[in-house]
Amino acid sequence: GDSVTQMEGPVTLSEEAFLTINCTYTATGYPSLFWYVQYPGEGLQLLLKATKADDKGSNKGFEATYRKETTSFHLEKGSVQVSDSAVYFCAPNSGGSNYKLTFGKGTLLTVNP
Amino acid sequence: EPEVTQTPSHQVTQMGQEVILRCVPISNHLYFYWYRQILGQKVEFLVSFYNNEISEKSEIFDDQFSVERPDGSNFTLKIRSTKLEDSAMYFCASSEIGRVGEQFFGPGTRLTVL
């Protein structure tokens, strides 16, 4: 089945710092890859996605590139804001008869002003 | 913007009691899911549901759990006899056909079993 290894947190940054959260995955075939974000007290929200190799997903200044050769999907943002403080989850989905998202442990990001 | 809603937001129950958690998925979505998150741990898949039947379930989803779509809008998770270890945040999610990975999550129900 699908699995994911995600960078352990917590990560604490100052506002405007550069962010990288590493994610590597194992999955059947050619999965779609997703980053979800969970803000304090809320459910998960889809942040960005990539559906094939070399695709770059982007949203709200965050980016991640689907690297098939290294089975990675690292999340980056050039300049974080306090409002980006949240837990970030990487998740592959192999599709087909596999309906579930397999989440990593999540990475808690705290951005200080 | 359409959203997934869940009720109640917090449920407290005694061990051994039955609970029903309710969800209203986004109206044009056809795939429905339940996940749970024990405090401080990762989000775990429980079950997916499509075309009025379970399409996939995890090892956690044993005989104590059941799901139902009793009408055209609600999707429920029933825990027949709750245990202390069922205490968790339960998230409902839904997705469009052909976009299984793009799941829209509700705000969750916090279940506390005493």
Instruction: Give the β-pairing of A107-112 and A11-14.
Output: parallel
Residue A94's pLDDT is what? 78
Whether the CB of A101 is below 8 Å from some CB of chain B: the reply is yes
Interface test with B, best of A42, A46, A101, A108 (most B CBs within 10 A): A101
B31/A46 touch (CB, cutoff 8 Å), yes or no: no
A95/B108 touch (CB, cutoff 8 Å), yes or no: no
A97/B50 touch (CB, cutoff 8 Å), yes or no: no
Instruction: Write the pLDDT tens digit of every residue in B65-79.
Output: 999 998 878 999 999
With cut-offs at 50, 70 and 90, classify the pLDDT of residue B101: confident
Residue A42's pLDDT is what? 84
C-alpha–C-alpha distance, residues A73 and A33, integer Å? 7
Determine the residue of chain B that is closest to A106 in CA distance: B42
Please report the residues numbered 68 through 97 in chain A whose beta carbons come closer than 8 angstroms to any beta carbon of chain B. 89, 91, 93, 95, 97
Residue position matching structure tokens 């429905």? B32
Instruction: Write the pLDDT tens digit of every residue in B15-50.
Output: 999 999 999 999 989 999 999 999 888 899 999 999
Q: Which of B48, B56, B101 is closest, CB to CB, to A34?
A: B101
Instruction: Please classify residue B98 by burial: count the beta carbons closer than 10 Å to its beta carbon, then call 0-12 exposed, 13-18 middle and 19+ buried.
Output: exposed
Residue position matching structure tokens 């056809």? B30
| φ/ψ of residue A83, rounded to 5 | -70, -10
Q: Which of A44, A45, A100 is closest, CB to CB, to B45?
A: A100
For chain A, what percent of residues have pLDDT higher than 70? 97
B82 is written with which tokens? 């709750």
Residues of A with CB below 8 A from B4's CB? Answer: 43
Residues B82-111: what's their mean pLDDT? 92
Residues paired with residue B33 on neighbouring β-strands, in sequence order: B48, B93
Residues A6-22: what's their mean pLDDT? 94
Residue B40's pLDDT is what? 83
Q: Which of A42, A44, A46 is closest, CB to CB, to B43?
A: A44
- Which strand ranges, in their side-by-side order, compose the sheet holding B5-7? B5-7, B19-24, B75-79, B65-68
With beta carbons less than 8 A apart as the criterion, state whether A89 and A44 touch. yes
Per DSSP, the residues of B7-62 read E-SEEEE-TT--EEEEEE--TT--EEEEEEE-TTS-EEEEEEEETTEEEEE-TT--
With beta carbons less than 8 A apart as the criterion, state whether B25 and B4 touch. yes
Q: Which of A95, A102, A104 is closest, CB to CB, to B45?
A: A102
